[in-house]
């Protein structure tokens, strides 16, 4: 027998055995878990978008107050000449 035939025979033996019992409410549990996860994912997505909006608003406020694009004033005064 080749390796392929050995594997095929093993699979056939596994399929010939009786299948394990499945809980009657398996589909209901799967739906409940899926809907719970969908709600959790939706909430997480909304929270992340909210944080993004707050961060963008805070950046706009900071930039409008600080004006980082302007050159800061000189720290020292120019020398007095012509007195």
State the DSSP string of the chain. Answer: --HHHHHHHHHHHHHHSPPPP--TTHHHHHHHHHHHHHHHHHHHHHHHHHHHHHHHHHHHHHHHHH-TTSPPPPSSPPPP---
Q: Identify the pLDDT of residue 78.
A: 73
Domain-embedded: residue 50:
yes
Report yes or no on 6 lying in a domain.
no
Domain residues for the domain of 48 are 27-66
pLDDT in tens, the chain (83 residues): 678 889 999 999 988 988 888 999 999 999 999 999 999 999 999 999 999 999 999 999 999 999 988 887 777 777 778 76
Is residue 18 in some structural domain? Answer: no
pTM, rounded to two decimals: 0.58
pLDDT at 83: 66
| 38 occurs within a structural domain | yes
> Domain total for the chain?
1
pLDDT of the residue at 32: 96
Q: What is the pLDDT of residue 1?
A: 60
């Amino acid at each position: 027998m080749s390796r392929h035939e050995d594997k095929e025979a093993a699979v056939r033996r596994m399929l010939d055995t009786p299948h394990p019992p499945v809980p009657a409410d398996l589909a209901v549990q799967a739906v409940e878990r899926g809907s719970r996860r969908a709600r959790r994912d939706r909430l997480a997505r909304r929270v992340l978008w909210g944080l993004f909006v707050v961060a963008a608003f805070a950046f706009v406020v900071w930039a409008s107050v600080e004006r980082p694009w302007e050159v800061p004033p000189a720290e020292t005064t120019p020398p007095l000449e012509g007195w």
